[in-house]
Amino acid sequence: MANNKNKNNNGKMSLEEAGRKGGEETAKTHGHEFYEEIGRKGGEARARQNDELKNNNKKNN
């Protein structure tokens, strides 16, 4: 019997398959600018987290 990694034993969609399908639908409805914006926002949030970690490490040392 073939093993289908995209289906669970109960015939439901796997998380991997659900994510892929959702990503494809998002790509159909949003343009390049959308992905630039969410990437920028994510980068800014991560930079703030890094700054907070650096400040906490300085206080603890």
Residues 6 or more apart whose CB falls under 8 angstroms from that of 24 comprise none
Phi/psi of residue 7, each to 5°?
-125, 140
Cα separation, 6 vs 57, in Å, equals 43
Token pair belonging to 3? 């093993």
Could you report the per-residue pLDDT of 1-60, keeping only the tens digit for each?
445 555 666 889 999 999 999 999 999 999 999 999 999 999 999 999 999 999 988 878
The number of residues in the chain equals: 61
Give residue 20's identity as a one-letter amino acid code. R
> What residue spans define the domains of the chain?
31-61
pTM assigned to the model? 0.56
Give residue 28's identity as a one-letter amino acid code. K
DSSP H helices in 1-61: 15-29, 32-60
